[in-house]
């Protein structure tokens, strides 16, 4: 089960049921590398979602399927809303709401496994005063909350921001995304490969 925002959704309405992005790529990588594995993949991403939106639809869109694994990639919309002046979406509330989801899920589903992926921003911009620079300055606070929760709940953790940061030190950001939030095919492949790597471990 893949829960998240537009990065997870990635056009699943037009390319049902998995979309065009990392969810679809991950599924096909699994079929190619591990054909013996019986796996059902569900894309529960919805564009524009914040962690509060996930809470609102969690029972219907995630837990009703009784998944064995739940991957969560959420947070860039929370950060954008906070920068826009909506204090409800500050890093501490982000942490508390994501923690609430994890705690509730553990009570409802036995033996469920989680993969927590950090929000990311595919940009090198360091010029002060611009919006991209503000995002890059604030983003580590959200990333740290995901890391803390992964330790608290002893679940798999993928720092996607660090992954992309290393890549854009080698290649231009637009190799992986036309703008900092939404990856292109190559960027989605990066995420899918990291997911497969973690699950193989």
CB 68 within 8 A of CB 109: no
Give the mean pLDDT of 159-164.
Answer: 98
Contact (CB, 8 A) for 42 and 2 = yes
CB atoms within 10 A of CB 132: 15
Please state the rounded mean pLDDT for residues 106-116: 95
Per-residue pLDDT, averaged over 127-138, amounts to: 91
Kindly indicate the confidence band of residue 110, based on its pLDDT and cuts at 50, 70 and 90.
confident
| Residue 128 reports pLDDT greater than 90 | no
What are 13-54's pLDDT values in tens digits? 999 999 999 999 999 999 999 999 999 999 999 999 999 999
- The whole-angstrom separation of Cα 183 and Cα 189 is 9
pTM comes to 0.96
């Amino acid at each position: 089960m893949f829960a998240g925002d537009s990065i997870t959704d990635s056009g699943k309405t037009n390319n049902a049921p998995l979309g065009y992005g990392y969810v679809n790529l991950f599924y096909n990588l699994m079929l190619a590398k591990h054909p013996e594995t019986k796996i059902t993949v569900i894309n529960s991403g919805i564009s524009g979602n914040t962690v509060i939106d996930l809470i609102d639809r969690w029972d219907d869109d995630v837990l009703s399927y009784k998944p064995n694994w739940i991957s969560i990639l959420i947070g860039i919309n929370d950060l954008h809303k906070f920068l826009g002046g909506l204090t409800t979406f500050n890093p501490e509330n982000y942490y508390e709401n994501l923690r609430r989801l994890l705690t509730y899920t553990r009570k409802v589903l036995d033996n469920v496994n989680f993969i927590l992926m950090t929000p990311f921003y595919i940009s090198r911009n360091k010029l002060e005063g611009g919006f991209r620079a503000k995002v890059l300055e604030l983003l580590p606070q959200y990333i740290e909350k995901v890391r803390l929760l992964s330790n608290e709940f002893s679940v798999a953790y993928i720092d996607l921001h660090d992954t992309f940061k290393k890549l854009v030190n080698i290649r231009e950001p637009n190799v992986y995304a036309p703008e900092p939030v939404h990856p292109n095919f190559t960027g989605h492949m990066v995420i899918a490969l990291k997911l497969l790597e973690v699950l193989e471990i």
